[in-house]
Amino acid sequence: MRREPSIIIVGGGPAGSAAAIELRRRGVGRVTILDRSAYPRLKVCGSGLSPNALRELERLELKDILAPLHIPMRGIVAVGPGGRSIELRGDHGAWIVPRTDFDHTLLREAGRLGAEIREKTRVRALLRDDNGRVRGVRTADEELEADLVICANGSPSQFEFDHSPRYGIRTIMGWWKGATLPAPDQGIFAWSRQLDGYYAWAFPEPGGVVNVGLTIAERSAASHGIRPLFEEILEQEFSDVLRGAESMGPWKGHPATVTTRISSELVQPHCMWTGEAARLVSPGSVEGIGFALLSGRIAAELCEEHFDPIRGFSSWHSQLYRSRLAVRMLPKFLAGEAFVRLMRSRGTIRMLSRLADPKRMGQLAATVVGER
Ligand SMILES: Cc1cc2nc3c(=O)[nH]c(=O)nc-3n(C[C@H](O)[C@H](O)[C@H](O)COP(=O)(O)OP(=O)(O)OC[C@H]3O[C@@H](n4cnc5c(N)ncnc54)[C@H](O)[C@@H]3O)c2cc1C
């Protein structure tokens, strides 16, 4: 019989908590989550759970405990680069659960199932043996040995799995009280010209709060003056929404990392990467929560099926992890990237400005937010 492995998970966001929950449910290993923050903690995020993410929560049997914390987003208003808009109501709808509550609930569930949680514990480095194999982590205070380290530390990750260039997205967002959306269960996506294929959003949160933000690729020149850009977008796209609303504190930003490829280096013998640390975020929508949950669950599945504390994982297991992720994620990532390219093209902008075919634009927008 294989001995029970000791598993350290770096980061208690959706990827780390999902991995811990699934490991504990499967009875695999002694699991410790290390997170630099103290929970509940703020996470800069639109907090939108797409139909994809909701399906993943169902698979993880987490939807019921989150249900009391959500408000539904049953439709969106999609505003094209020319300023024309269209209303979309999907068959499935999305949820908004503020990340402070969402992440805290998942982390508590991991603890309830037997994972040890250590907050305010920043991991400084991966420890390696003489052969370069990961053997644990170093925090500010100590060295912790483990059979397996799962990096779920988000973006930008300080623990790189390969040296391919990062596809970075800049973001900025704020929260407002008393803002008026077209309907209480309706969000807004605006593909403004200045955002070079990316978009601004306004999402309803519980308690009459609305979060508003924008995403733009780091490679776009306009991303370097993101604050004035946000002021301009707020005025241009959201002046009706925010009229009379009260800003709830300073605007915040956080870099996101998106991808159109899934690396074959996400598994080493005694280390693996999940969630945004593995760059598993869709270009186009910058959706990452569902992919973080999914990759955490698949990582746990792989551990149960194949991890040996002495030999670790092999290169075949690395390919297996990659292919399990790729089959579920790559089509969505490629569709997201195609959407960004389309929205950047002058021809498309002209076409959408005239809004010759509102139905087609609706279908495109529905694809990018995961309704189709
Ligand atoms: C502005 C913005 C809006 C977004 N909106 C959406 C949205 O509406 N819907 C959606 O699906 N996705 C959205 N995303 C993407 C989504 O937030 C991420 O993809 C998702 O949080 C990734 O989850 P994760 O668990 O991999 O990483 P994270 O959620 O980032 O969690 C990583 C955890 O690791 C901890 N950590 C980091 N470094 C260390 C260290 N060295 N030692 C110990 N702990 C560490 C952090 O404290 C954190 O708790 C948005 C992103 C941004 C930036």
pLDDT at 80: 86
pLDDT at 356: 44
pLDDT at 369: 52
Question: How many domains does the structure of the chain reveal?
Answer: 1
Sign of CA dihedral 126, 30, 320, 273: negative
| 361 within some domain | yes
| 1 within some domain | no
| Distances, alpha carbon 152 to alpha carbons 101, 137, 180, in Å | 19, 13, 36
d(CA 202, CA 222): 20
Shortest-distance atom of ligand 1 to CA 173: 1
Q: Residue 296 is part of which domain span?
A: 6-368
pLDDT at 343: 87
| Distances, alpha carbon 38 to alpha carbons 34, 42, 120, 157, 334, in Å | 10, 10, 5, 19, 36
How does DSSP classify residue 117? E
Shortest-distance atom of ligand 1 to CA 15: 25
- pLDDT tens digits, one per residue of 97-143: 999 999 999 999 999 999 999 999 999 999 999 999 999 999 999 99
> How does DSSP assign 262-312, residue by residue?
--TTSEETTEEE-GGGGT---TTT---HHHHHHHHHHHHHHHHHH-BTTTB
- 80: tokens are 């094209």
Taking the alpha carbons at both ends of the chain, their separation in whole angstroms is 45
Q: Which residues line ligand 1 (CB under 6 A)?
A: 10-16, 34-37, 43-48, 53, 122-123, 152-154, 158, 171, 173, 213, 254, 256, 275-277, 281, 286-290, 292
- pLDDT tens digits, one per residue of 179-204: 999 999 999 999 999 999 999 999 99
pLDDT < 50: residue spans in the chain: 356
pLDDT at 94: 95
Q: pLDDT averaged over the chain?
A: 93
Q: What CATH number corresponds to the domain at position 244?
A: 3.50.50.60
Closest Cα partner for 286 from 159, 157, 172? Answer: 172
Ligand 1 centre to CA of 353 (Å) is 34
| 304 within some domain | yes
pLDDT at 358: 56
Secondary structure (3-state) at 62: coil
Ligand 1 centre to CA of 313 (Å) is 26
| 217 within some domain | yes
pLDDT at 83: 84
pLDDT at 93: 87
Ligand 1 centre to CA of 156 (Å) is 9
- 275: tokens are 């969630």
